[in-house]
């Protein structure tokens, strides 16, 4: 069972999960089923990795939720076939990853080839003001851009976001997309750009009994 599935089962059992350092904090209004607790304990390291926010501020769960949201909107609102909706969602994830993981450099050297600028080949700034610029020769930009996209795809694949050549019929992905569609419908037909309500459960008032730290 994957970390995502264990988390899903735990939440279905009324358990709230939170990561603190390397620990997994659990809260529930009633004693959780022993089988769920066993799965949580067994998969704790993977669950911590799944739930812990990365340097870009999003956890693997957040990234997968974003993918599912975009994919669900493309498929159910946009009418795209599932595979095509998945490709479009992946493209959205790549753009979001690039925005959240900017690369910048000092002016005067090309970030790609390391060479200086020349009168006939100036260094140009790429990027936006808040995060700074990457300075590149215009001819170096395509290769740099391709390497950035490859990094994004690699990072997303590590977080279980399907690459274009993977089967779109994978059960877990299908399950997540179905949930995304349900959330979309429950939240007003999916016309708005909404995060899946996983985050909403964090705000649910629950009695702190029993409290467990795994």
Binding site for Zn ion (CB under 5 A): 110, 112-113, 137, 140
Q: Which residue is nearest to Zn ion (CB)?
A: 110
For the bound state, the minimum distance from the C-beta of residue 117 to Zn ion, rounded and expressed in Å, comes to 9
Taking the least distance from each CB to Zn ion, the nearer of 43 and 137 is 137
Dihedral sign (CA 27, 32, 34, 36):
negative
For the bound state, the minimum distance from the C-beta of residue 145 to Zn ion, rounded and expressed in Å, comes to 13
For the bound state, the minimum distance from the C-beta of residue 142 to Zn ion, rounded and expressed in Å, comes to 11
For the bound state, the minimum distance from the C-beta of residue 131 to Zn ion, rounded and expressed in Å, comes to 20
Taking the least distance from each CB to Zn ion, the nearer of 114 and 188 is 114
Taking the least distance from each CB to Zn ion, the nearer of 137 and 173 is 137
For the bound state, the minimum distance from the C-beta of residue 125 to Zn ion, rounded and expressed in Å, comes to 13
Taking the least distance from each CB to Zn ion, the nearer of 63 and 126 is 126
Taking the least distance from each CB to Zn ion, the nearer of 1 and 113 is 113
């Amino acid at each position: 069972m994957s970390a995502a599935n264990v988390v899903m089962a735990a939440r279905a059992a009324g358990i709230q999960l939170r990561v603190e350092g390397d620990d997994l904090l659990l809260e529930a209004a009633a004693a959780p089923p022993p089988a769920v607790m066993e799965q949580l304990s067994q998969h704790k390291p993977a669950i911590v990795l799944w739930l812990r926010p990365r340097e870009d501020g999003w956890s693997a769960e957040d990234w997968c939720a974003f993918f599912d949201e975009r994919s669900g909107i493309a498929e159910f609102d946009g009418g795209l076939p599932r595979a095509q909706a998945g490709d479009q969602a992946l493209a959205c994830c790549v753009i979001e990853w690039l925005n959240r993981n900017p690369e910048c450099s000092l002016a005067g050297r090309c970030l790609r080839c390391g060479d200086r600028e020349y009168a006939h080949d100036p260094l140009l700034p790429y990027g936006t003001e808040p995060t700074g610029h990457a300075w590149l020769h215009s001819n170096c930009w395509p290769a740099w851009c391709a390497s950035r996209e490859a990094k994004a795809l690699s990072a997303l694949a590590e977080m279980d976001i399907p690459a274009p050549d993977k089967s779109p019929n994978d059960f877990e992905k299908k399950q997540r997309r179905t949930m995304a569609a349900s959330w979309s419908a429950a939240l007003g037909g999916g016309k708005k750009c909404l995060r899946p309500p996983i985050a909403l459960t964090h705000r649910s008032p629950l009695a702190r009994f029993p409290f467990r730290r795994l």
